[in-house]
Amino acid sequence: MTDGLHCEVVPFDQIDFSDPIFDSVRHDYPDHDEWYCRANETKDSRCALVVRASLSAYAGIAILKYGESPDGPSQTGLKISTFKVAPQAQAQGIADILLSHVFERAIEQQIDVVFTTVLPNHEDVSRYLELRGFRRVAFETRRGERIYVADISHPERIYSDLNRLAYDLLADEYRNRSYSPGPTQESPEYLAGLLAKHLLPSSRRVLELGPGSGEVLNALGKVAVDTVSVEISPRMAMIARQRAPNALILIGDILNLDFPPGSFDGVYAGAFLHLFPQSEAARLVRQIARWTRSDGAVFVNTSIADEFSESLELKADYLHRVARFRSRWTEDQFQRLVKSNGLSIIERVTTDERERGKFWVAYLCKPSMQNQEIE
C-alpha cells in the first residue's frame, strides 16, 4: 500500500502553491492567497510534509505551524493548517504516511498538542481524524470550523489509535521481514511449541493477540483445531489472513472485546502487552486469565528494559520510523504484572535477539485458581 512512497520536508517558501492539490483549498477558502502572504511573514515557524506523485506533482501535503494551540500561542503546540490528499491518490495510504510523520515530528520536538480545523462539509476528514486519535473540542473557529485535537501529553488517550496507524504502515515491512528473519530470531514453530507443550492433547481452541504477519498464528493452527486472533490494524490483519487462512481474525481493540470465561485452551500474547499503558496491561492480563480454561496455558513476553517507562516513541528498528505507544518494564515489574493479575508462572524462557538489541523474557503461565470463574 505504501511501498515506494516517501515523505519529505519542504520549507514553507518552497511550497508549490500552483499545484492542483490546492484547487479545492482555494474553493473552500477564497482568501487563501491572502493567507499565504500573511503566513509567509512567519515562514520560519512553518513547513510542509510532502508526498510526491509522478512528475513531481503533490500526491499529499500537510502544512504545519509550530507554536500554536487551539487556545492561542503555545511553545508546545503544533497546528496542521492544511491536510490534503490528491483525489487520484486517495487509495494509496498517503494520509496515513503524512499523519505518521506529523506525529514523528511532534515527538521529536516535544509537542504536547497537535490540532487541526475542518469545515463542516468535510465529514470524511472528520471521520478519518477521529479514527486516528483526534477528538473534537466543544468550541469552533470564527469560520465555523470544527477543531480536532490529539493530546500528546496524555498518550493514554490516543495510544490505541496511534498504534493502529503505526501497524497499518508497518504491515508490508512485517510481511517482508518474516521471509528473512534475523539470525537470533526465534522461529514461529518454536514459539508456538512453547505454548503447545503446556496444553492438553485434547486442546481445541487457541487465541492469539496481535498476530502480526501471521507466522505464529499459522503454527498455532497445527496445534489446535480452532484458532482465533484479534488484530487492531486492518492492514496487518489482511496480511495475517494470507499466512493463516484457516484462522478467525477479528479486527478491533482487544480492550473493547470480551469472551466468556474459559473460552480458550491456550492464549498467546507475544510482543503484545507492552503496547498498552501499565494499568490497561494489568486489566488485559486479568481478562486473559479469565478467558483461559483452568487446565489451559498462556504465553506472554516482552523485551526487558533497565528501568520502567511508558510513552509515545518512535519505532526505529524498522525502515519506517513510525510513532507508537510503548511501555518498557524491568523483569521484576513484568513478573509482578503477570503474577498479580491472575496468572501463575510455570516456565521462564529467554531470547537474546542481539541484532536488534532486545532481550526477550517469556513466561508460560496457568490461570490462578482464585481468578478462575465457573466454566
pLDDT in tens, 344-356: 999 999 999 998 8
Identify the pLDDT of residue 301.
98
Arithmetic mean of pLDDT, 321-343:
96
- Closest by CA position to 22, among listed 55, 78, 60: 60
- pLDDT tens-digit profile of 186-238? 999 999 999 999 999 888 999 999 999 999 999 999 999 999 999 999 999 99
The pLDDT assigned to 320 comes to 73
In CATH terms, the fold of domain 163-371 is Rossmann fold (3.40.50)
The CATH code for residues 7-153 is 3.40.630.30
Listed by start position, the domains of the chain span 7-153, 163-371
- What is the rounded average pLDDT for all residues in the chain? 92
Confidence of residue 119 (pLDDT cuts 50, 70, 90): very high
What angle do the packed helices 159-178 and 94-108 form, to 10 degrees? 110
- pLDDT band at residue 5 under the 50/70/90 scheme: confident
Residue 329 has pLDDT above 60, yes or no: yes
pLDDT band at 375 (very low <50, low <70, confident <90, very high): very low
Between β-strands 46-52 and 72-85, what pairing exists: parallel, antiparallel or unpaired?
unpaired
Does residue 142 have a pLDDT over 60? yes
Torsions phi, psi of 191, nearest 5? Answer: -65, -45
Is residue 4 very low, low, confident or very high in pLDDT (cuts 50, 70, 90)?
A: low
Q: What pLDDT was estimated at residue 91?
A: 63
Query: Do 7-153 and 163-371 agree at the fold level?
Result: no
* Confidence at residue 99, expressed as pLDDT on a 0 to 100 scale: 95
Confidence band, pLDDT 50/70/90 cuts, at residue 93? confident
